[in-house]
Structure 1
């Protein structure tokens, strides 16, 4: 097993999210440095390798890949107009592949590995509405505010996971 217990998992996520938050907020608050990074396009290999790694981690631990990919891409300096669609696509792809794999495993495995289809279907409309609202609001919001919001959310989640693991 890659993650022996929930305490280790929560510490792992906290260890990933907290440094991302620091890097994202520092780059956002130092504008000259942030602009220079945003203008430099990453090679096609780097985002592809990152997406594969995030997909594997997201699939193994059952989390949407966008929750990791979004802060990583934003911390690298990519504009939020490119980060948000990539994160949503990663989450969607990870969730669909994960649900299919678990459904196939339920046919051959002993025990309860079937995904909760009703919960998944209930989350779908919320994601659709949220994505629609987000695409309309994003051009109206400043890039700095979006980056700081993402950094704050990453810090909050990382801190929550660390507190839960240590409690």
Structure 2
């Protein structure tokens, strides 16, 4: 890895996390195409590298949310209880069932497209009535499912839960810290799982340590800044921006699939 690649990873992690931390979305969901298309991290090593990014970057935003008194309540514990076993299952699926980059791009697009459209819809129709809150059982089941997708994709799982909870009327001041806490814990578990899988499988499964650390350091700084800016930024604008980014990335992956 050249110093230019390291600098690119640091700057990308910083800028992305400034935008995503205020709404509880892990910057890894948008960092992935930078690693794949710009830094050329091979598959499936890109997924544990993204999880390493989450581990390093997560404490920045969480420290600020804790300082604001927002890391309280049962929501984070409930999300973690579901996403932790899910991310282990997702890591196993990623290594043994979805090793190829083409299938990986299809999975990434399938995750990003509905996420992006959902965020855009909620941003453009702010007067839409919220649906009834999810029950604890439904939320736990959804956490397991999103944790599994997060283990495959390298985003932890909390990033997908955030928009769903927002549509159910949960305030962003509760969603953002809970989703990021879930992403951080599941990323630690997911990265450890990939580390163990390197002992039983061939191929480039281990994370790219230096790149992940540099991207994560940028995310650490950017996440703290983003969490600090949350009270000052319009929620509608942020959700629309995130939705547009996610939709654009999904289209990018679909175009790559067609051209590849």
Name the CA distance, whole Å, in 2 between partners of 1:147 and 1:77. Answer: 14
- Superposed CA RMSD: 2.6
Aligned residues: 164
Is 1:71–1:150's contact at 8 Å kept on the other side of the alignment?
no
With 93-102 and 55-64 compared, the bigger mean Cα shift is at 55-64
Shift of 1:4: 5.9
Q: State TM-score, norm by structure 2.
A: 0.54
Is 1:24–1:147's contact at 8 Å kept on the other side of the alignment?
yes
- Structure 2 gap ranges (5+): 1-95
List structure 1 runs of 4+ shifted beyond 6 angstroms.
none
Residue 105 in 1 paired to residue 197 in 2? yes
1:7 aligned residue (76, 80, 102): 102
Is 2:130–2:169's contact at 8 Å kept on the other side of the alignment?
yes
Q: State TM-score, norm by structure 1.
A: 0.79
- Structure 1 gap ranges (5+): none
Name the CA distance, whole Å, in 2 between partners of 1:107 and 1:2. Answer: 17
Shift of 1:140: 0.3
**1:4–1:25: structure 2 CA closer, same or farther, 3 Å change rule?**
same
Name the residue aligned to 1:68: 160
Name the residue aligned to 1:88: 180
- 3-state DSSP of counterpart to 2:206: coil
1:66-91 alpha-carbon deviations (Å, 9 max, x no partner)? 44333444455543323322332233
2:144 aligned residue (52, 55, 68): 52
